[in-house]
A and B are shown apart, each in its own frame.
Chain A
């Protein structure tokens, strides 16, 4: 049974839904402005021109540039007190991808790789970690670090469909299957009479099955088979279409999907830039949340908006905002999250965190706990124990169920 067959079987699909948890990371590459999204400062010199709007959760206001999200805050927690300290793209992205600062001699895995390691299943026939990044600016492929290539992302840039999973044209489907059958026959003969605890060949067999599964999963990446009404809801932008693919992935059991929307680096014309990009984010994220909820997937899927940093409260001479890692925001929706909450507070002009300052480590611990992953778990690199959250951090229980 292929993964597509699983999707067609309602009882099995329901079982998968019960068991599996997933993450969809909406990566706002280049650094979205917290003031034009989750932490408006109306009437302040730093506040910009956009008005705050009330949400469907009394007492919570967000920017008017997110009107659709304003009607869907019941499942979302906003954290307004990220203070991460690294204000360059590469360093900030590395920090927010891995949840900790770089360390000489050790490459830490990013969030996707850790989630793939923790929530992926050894017998899964779908990818564990899929990453979309279509724009070229700020493109980063992600890293599984010391976890190894098994948890590296399937990285998609130029096409929404993986280019290298198709069978070679020189090889027929029958030939391909017969080769696999021959390999299985030889493997069975090889293992016959050998020590039962020798699992090396079992691992090889599992890897081959996985490849077959992934080859069969090409249809997952295509939105052509989605009903026209569903495609119309998502709309025609590339980001929206990638969000639709992300939903298909999650539905099929992929633990981690990253969809990057570049490029929010609004040093000039910040307000014009955010009018374009927030419209894309607001619509795509809203439709995605609705779709997940209607399919019963949202309670087990954590949707995150995150970037390498936020943007300066000060408005520069080009009506832009520059890099700012001192006080900025993120959002968490769905699995394990206490919706309709706001954690942390910035001062009147958004220059500093006034309450609840946290770093990348605390955010990662919160994400792990929301997904039911022991945030204090340790991996071993050789004999060295390394906690999956940064040393000494704790989750923010206030945003967790």
Chain B
């Protein structure tokens, strides 16, 4: 089936083990892997008639599992415990542990489209690139500042590869965005989205925002970042959800989109197959899933989520969204009515590309 954003509808909504923070999907299946506040990693099969969350086996983590990524036959999970744990996707058993992968809490990992590399970001403000097969650290990329302009520890929340695997984008608490060349580890471009920082200098003297999500369009020309807009009362996530869209190579801002109907953080963004639309999801106490037209920045379709959405992924043909969040797992479909079945193209084939060099260590 082809995807039609206007047909967006929630189709399944079940409880999760703990608060579900990060997920990825096993290619060509309805199986997701998610990390939880109970320090565990689970698999859940949305395609099964009766399913339950099945735990991965091993020493695992000692704190919230904030992120997971499927890379070939392995799953890598990152946690506030600073560890990366590598798991076999079929046996659900631990393969290796990278102790002290970062000096501070790990926020997000992302697998390269070819499954050879994994990038991790952490509150130590380092971007680290790991070789999946060996678990070897290939590069440490430094550009994000450890302290905010107001002398508090900063945080590095978001990371994403471009579809061709050449570029890596990262974004932090104060709204600083960096695009890296994966092969050299060099900075290609920096951009700023300072409104998402949300520093309150007068009433409450702290911040709760930051760029929480980042995504390249499929052609690699556009970069979207998500977070929250200016908040009057930063006790709550009471500000408009906010997205900024850049032509990153020129630095041109295409759109600044805010939504005060569904407030809170934009925790994840993903572009549709031809780049003409993109999905954003997140929330405050509640959750939302919104689809915008890329060219105009206009809202195409929106749905209230049954939970604050922490992350989502889409399937190969972009007609199903798998999401995790506050104690819940959910799927939406956006299948075109009476459309011919689309040809599926795997997003993450396992194996190496011969012509691609690993990033250099710095």
A→B interface (CB under 8 Å)? 30, 43, 45, 48-51, 134-137, 235-238, 261-263, 265-269, 272-273, 275-277, 279-280, 315-320
Contact = CB atoms under 8 A, between A and B. Distances in A.
A273 B238 CA distance: 15
- Kindly name the residue among B153, B206, B208, B264 whose own CB sees the greatest number of chain A CB atoms within 10 A: B206
Interface of B: 18-19, 37-39, 62-64, 66, 80-81, 105, 123, 150-153, 155, 202-208, 210, 234-238, 264, 283-287, 307-308, 326
A107 to B, nearest CB: 27
Contacts of A273: 206, 208
Given A276-B152, A277-B206, A51 B235 contact: no
Contacts of B285: 268, 316-318
Nearest to A137: B203
Contacts, number: 96
Nearest to A134: B205
A236 B81 CA distance: 29
Given A45-B37, A268-B237, A279-B153, A318 B284 contact: yes
A315 B19 contact: yes
A262 B205 contact: yes
A263 B152 CA distance: 14
Contacts of A319: 19, 308, 326
Given A51-B62, A268-B236, A315-B19, A276 B204 contact: no
A282 to B, nearest CB: 11
A49 B35 CA distance: 13
A115 to B, nearest CB: 26
Contact of A268 (B80, B152, B208, B307): B208
10 contacts: A49-B66, A49-B80, A51-B80, A263-B203, A268-B237, A275-B153, A315-B37, A317-B284, A319-B326, A320-B236
B235 A263 contact: yes
Main secondary structure of the interface of A (DSSP, over half): loop
B203 A135 contact: yes
B151 A235 contact: yes
A45 B327 CA distance: 12
- Kindly name the residue among A30, A51, A275 whose own CB sees the greatest number of chain B CB atoms within 10 A: A275
A272 B208 contact: yes
A66 B238 CA distance: 28
Contacts of A50: 63, 80
Nearest to B284: A318
Contacts of B105: 49
Contacts of B210: 272
Contact of A317 (B37, B152, B204, B326): B326
Given A235-B151, A279-B153, A317-B283, A51 B205 contact: no
Contacts of B151: 235-237
Contact of B308 (A43, A261, A317): A317
Contacts of A51: 62-63, 80-81
A261 B206 CA distance: 10
Nearest to A44: B38
B7 to A, nearest CB: 27
B308 A318 contact: yes
A235 B153 CA distance: 13
A262 B237 CA distance: 18
A273 B236 CA distance: 11
A263 B307 contact: no
A267 B62 contact: no
Contacts of B238: 268
Contact of B236 (A237, A267, A275, A276): A267
